[in-house]
Structures are given as C-alpha cells and as structure tokens.
C-alpha cells in the first residue's frame, strides 16, 4: 500500500496528547507512510538529565492518503481527526512538507517555535538547508530560521549561520508604488 501513497497529498492528523509515536507505528502497520518530525530535548529529573525525542508539532503528525478513503485513518486508536474545515480535510502544502523533511535530513538542531506574525523572510543560500525559505529570528547571539506549517498554525526553529541566508525582497507593483510617491506640488 505504501507505494500507492506517493500520489496522494499530505494531511495533518491531530492525535491524543502524547500519542504521536503510537499513532505513527499503527499507521505504518496499516501500510501508510506517516511523517512524525522529532527534535531532541534535554529534561532534568531530580536525579539525572535525560535526552528525549519529542514531536516538533505536539499533538500532530503527517500522513499521505486518499482523502476519499480516510476511514482506516480515522479509526486508528489515538487519531482525533484529520485537520480541515468541518469534515473536509485540507492537505498540507507540498512545499511545507518538503521544507520540514529537508530540516529533518539536515541534522541541524531544531525545536518547536511559535508561529511568527511579522518578521523578515529569508532564503537559505548555503549549507544543508540551501533553498529553504523562512523567517529569520535572533536568539542568544545566534540566528534561527523559522519555518511554518500554515494549516497547523505551528512553526519550527532551526539554528543557522547568519551568513547562510539572504533577504527575500518583495517587489511592490508599479500601481502600489505610486501610492508611496509624494504628490506633485
């Protein structure tokens, strides 16, 4: 069944709290190819420090499937719903999934990040994330690029070298630019 999934769009699945790994395993067992992006987090207990792998998007994972045949997905224990509007599932943009997959393959440190409302869009020109676009943020003397999955209203921050990125300039159409010119006296 996995080879048939390649033609279908990616969907975000909302899961019960802390059930992302179990749902991914069960979907894999049904022949689907789930995508559960993870990050490493150090947690301190009273007697030790442990490194855990946690979901980048807590409560969510991604899966490719035919939206007209989603019952096997919905009856999977731990799945709450396919993210969408009402009962209509909305696919996640392929470019957003590809970006998150590139981040996972890069091996760079990553972590969940609040979805930005404002900020400068940048394109990574060098390094393992070359071609990826996101929003540059400053953090503790370093820099991170924030990548978003609009449908989930969630983001991921990845540490990058500032020299790897260049700003994406938004061109203003001529009709809009004239609104910013001073009127003739």
Q: How do residues 81-123 score in pLDDT, each as one tens digit?
A: 999 998 899 999 999 999 999 999 999 999 998 764 446 788 8
SS3 state at 39: strand
85: burial class by Cβ within 10 Å (0-12, 13-18, 19+)? exposed
What's the confidence (pLDDT) of residue 65?
Answer: 97
Put simply, whether the predicted model's pTM sits higher than 0.75 gets the answer no
Spatial contact of 94 and 10, defined as CB atoms under 8 Å apart: yes
**Lowest-confidence range among 10-19, 84-93, 117-126, 140-149?**
117-126
Q: Which domains are delineated in the chain?
A: 2-89 (3.30.70.940), 94-167 (2.30.30)
What's the confidence (pLDDT) of residue 95?
Answer: 93
SS (H, E, C) 133-181: EEEEEEECCEEEEEEEEHHHCEEEEEEECHHHEEECCCCCCHHHHHHHC
What is the average pLDDT score of the chain? 85
């Amino acid at each position: 069944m996995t080879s048939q999934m390649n033609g279908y769009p990616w969907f975000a699945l909302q899961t019960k709290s802390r059930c992302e790994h179990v749902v991914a395993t069960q979907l894999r067992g049904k022949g689907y190819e789930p995508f559960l992006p993870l990050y490493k987090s150090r947690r301190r207990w009273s007697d030790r420090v442990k490194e855990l792998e946690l979901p980048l998007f807590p409560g969510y994972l991604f899966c490719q499937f035919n939206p007209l045949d989603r019952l096997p997905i919905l009856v999977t224990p731990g799945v709450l719903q396919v993210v969408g509007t009402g009962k209509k599932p909305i696919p996640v943009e392929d470019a957003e999934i590809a970006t998150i997959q590139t981040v996972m393959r890069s091996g760079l440190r990553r972590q969940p990040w609040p979805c930005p409302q404002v900020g400068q869009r940048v394109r990574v020109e060098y390094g393992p994330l070359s071609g990826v676009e996101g929003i540059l943020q400053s953090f503790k003397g370093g820099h991170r690029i924030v990548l978003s999955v609009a449908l989930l209203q969630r983001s991921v921050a990845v540490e990058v070298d500032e020299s790897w990125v260049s700003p994406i300039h938004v061109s203003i159409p001529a009709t809009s630019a004239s609104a910013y010119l001073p009127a003739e006296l």
